[in-house]
Structure 1
Amino acid sequence: MKNRKLLIFFSLTAFIRIAFLNPCQAMPPLDLHTVPVAPDYALQESWLAKPTAPTAPVDVFFVYPTVLFNDTDWIMDTARPDMRAAAQITIDTQAAVFEGQANVYVPMYRQMNIAGLGLSDADAAPLHEIIHSDVWRALTHYLKHENRGRPFFLAGHSQGSMILTDLMLEHWGTTGAEAQLIAALLPGWSLTSADLAAHPAVRMCGRSDQTGCVISYNSVADGRQSAAPTLKSGALAVNPLSWSMDGAFVPAEKNLGSVFFDADGKAKTYPYFTSARIVAGGLVVRPENVDLLAVEGGHFPEGVYHAFDYSLFFLNLKANIAERIEAFRLKSSTF
């Protein structure tokens, strides 16, 4: 697995009211002898979502963002009910864009605490190995035992997008399932031109009906690109209001609806909520009401709307999932 510094940030919707965990806060010594047991993906309990009788013709393999932010655990214990409940929120508010369109598969994985940001590369390396290994084992299990030849999406956010991006860069082109990929929806992380040049099996989506490609973007206010920790230098982006990679301004009239969730999980839709334009690798947005993008305690710098990458474009994402499924169906002889 890749030995790269991990930038992991907590990414839920606005109703998760927490304070940002300072990476330098006191944590117990890192003891790899006390790491929670690895999930066995042959067991139903190792999956947060896995249908026993799939009904849709396509699947989504979704990897949840960081939900471990306490000051006691370097690695998530996937058997803990509170961790399962926290991860479930991301299914209800992010993976929900696939609702009614795809069978949803979500493995529990031993993700890394956000405090890992304060570790050196050498100290973090064994933790990186754990999180990447779990998701890779889950994905290979899914492809071998659950997929049964159906077209599928890969999807995630933040830490989940980072892991799937790394796994695609490392393994894509060797899995035998590449032709089944409808698209990889991986907002909240970055792919660069250098990444694509080094890994030609991975490519970005440049049209609304393109398949086998990656959708990546990081939502920010204008001028706040450098403040976004998940936005790498040289990052490429896809505009979810136009599905192109150019720098054209796309007005809010193209936004079918931003969707925000309250403390009870109830959704409220705001049509035409924001425009979008790709500038310096970031997806620059101009929300109609910036107060809706505030998280109590603020875990990201002002003007970095990482937690809302799905919410801001929710109905456009949902509509495009349907469009890409249809595009895949039209070109497939087996779908």
Structure 2
Amino acid sequence: MYKIIYIILLMMIWSACNSRHSNIENAYIPSEPDYTDSKMWYINLNDTDDSGADIFYIVSTWEFDWYTNDGQICHYADPVNIKDHRDDMAIEISKIAQYMGQKNNFYAPYYRHITLNSWATCNEDTINRRYHTVSFNDVQKAFQYFINTNNNNRPFILAGFSQGGKSVVELIKTMPDDVKKRMVAAYVLGYKVTPQDTTECKNLRAAKDSLDLGVTICYNSVSDIKYIKPVISVPSAMCINP
């Protein structure tokens, strides 16, 4: 009985998502983050002797669809105006910073990621439209600010989980060669690198050795096969045992 109810609820979410597909422009879009504002960053500076690298980490998906006071639906997190959304993202970011930020400088932007409703239930076309229209725009601007203001030509590591992993892939596709040459590695966690991605972008190269530089490390694991979803896992051109 509970399984039937669960399936019906999923179908309702899917139907609602598809009905909103043609009306995406009518949904509420939160204010764009200003990455000169320290409130839009989680930063830990732990490289005290200039022997480490910079970490640029992109958080995954935390918020569900929500409504404004005047009843508009929103398919994005709102880190500018809703502190709880920043606090939710910080739960994940702080845990990652505990190990990736050891003796490194750690930077993670808060951004308008698409919601779990979009990420988990919509078709890939709708996901990409919402993601590229708003979310990836934030990630690109945050990364550019990081490169121009914080990085100071130091080596850096890109990393992201799930939706953040998608952002890592997309950043590499748009990364200038003079920036790419300083990238130690890119970690695509809980997401995929498709054969088409590697065909389109020569800089998406799978790591073959622990000493490789400028390469991509991609892996994705689940506790049960029922959690395998095409949008995050298949097809993937690489999977490297961590």
TM-score by length of structure 1 reads 0.58
Letter paired with 2:185: A
Letter paired with 1:138: A
Tell me if structure 1 keeps the 8 A contact 2:187–2:216. Answer: yes
In 2, Cα distance between equivalents of 1:186 and 1:93: 17
The equivalent position to 1:204 in structure 2, one of 203, 206, 228, is 206
Q: Which residue of 2 aligns with 1:35?
A: 29
Identity, in percent, stands at 26
Matched, 1:136 2:130: no
Q: CA deviation at 1:218?
A: 1.0
Q: Which residue of 2 aligns with 1:77?
A: 78
1:62-121 per-residue CA deviation (whole Å, 9 max, x = no partner) reads 000001124433111113111111111112223432132311101111110121242672
Matched, 1:183 2:177: no
In 2, Cα distance between equivalents of 1:70 and 1:202: 32
Judged with a 3 Å threshold, the aligned counterparts in structure 2 of structure 1 residues 157 and 122 are, in CA distance, closer, same or farther, namely closer
Judged with a 3 Å threshold, the aligned counterparts in structure 2 of structure 1 residues 126 and 99 are, in CA distance, closer, same or farther, namely closer
The equivalent position to 1:150 in structure 2, one of 148, 151, 154, is 154
The equivalent position to 1:47 in structure 2, one of 18, 41, 46, is 41
Tell me if structure 2 keeps the 8 A contact 1:44–1:50. Answer: no
In 2, Cα distance between equivalents of 1:35 and 1:96: 32
Judged with a 3 Å threshold, the aligned counterparts in structure 2 of structure 1 residues 153 and 122 are, in CA distance, closer, same or farther, namely closer
Aligned length, in residue pairs: 217
Q: CA deviation at 1:135?
A: 0.2
Mapping for residues 80-229 of structure 1, pairs under 5 Å: 80-116=82-118, 117-118=121-122, 121=125, 125-169=129-173, 171-172=174-175, 174-220=176-222, 224=225, 227-229=228-230
Q: CA deviation at 1:163?
A: 1.4
In 1, Cα distance between equivalents of 2:54 and 2:123: 36
Judged with a 3 Å threshold, the aligned counterparts in structure 2 of structure 1 residues 138 and 132 are, in CA distance, closer, same or farther, namely same
In 2, Cα distance between equivalents of 1:146 and 1:130: 23
1:1-56 per-residue CA deviation (whole Å, 9 max, x = no partner) reads xxxxxxxxxxxxxxxxxx9x9443768874557311111111211213265x9635
Q: Which residue of 2 aligns with 1:24?
A: 14
Q: Structure 2 stretches of 5 or more lacking a match? A: 1-5, 68-73
Q: Which residue of 2 aligns with 1:58?
A: 53
Tell me if structure 2 keeps the 8 A contact 1:156–1:164. Answer: yes
Judged with a 3 Å threshold, the aligned counterparts in structure 2 of structure 1 residues 175 and 32 are, in CA distance, closer, same or farther, namely farther
**SS of the counterpart of 2:198?**
helix
Judged with a 3 Å threshold, the aligned counterparts in structure 2 of structure 1 residues 225 and 167 are, in CA distance, closer, same or farther, namely farther
Letter paired with 2:139: V
Letter paired with 2:202: P
In 2, Cα distance between equivalents of 1:123 and 1:59: 30
Letter paired with 1:213: V
Q: CA deviation at 1:148?
A: 0.4
Letter paired with 1:150: R
Q: CA deviation at 1:225?
A: 9.0
Q: Which residue of 1 aligns with 2:70?
A: none
Q: Structure 1 stretches of 5 or more lacking a match? A: 1-18, 241-335
**SS of the counterpart of 1:24?**
helix
**SS of the counterpart of 2:77?**
coil
**Between structures 1 and 2, the one with greater helix share:** 2
TM-score by length of structure 2 reads 0.78
- State the Cα RMSD in Å: 2.9
Letter paired with 1:227: I
Letter paired with 1:60: I
Q: CA deviation at 1:198?
A: 2.5
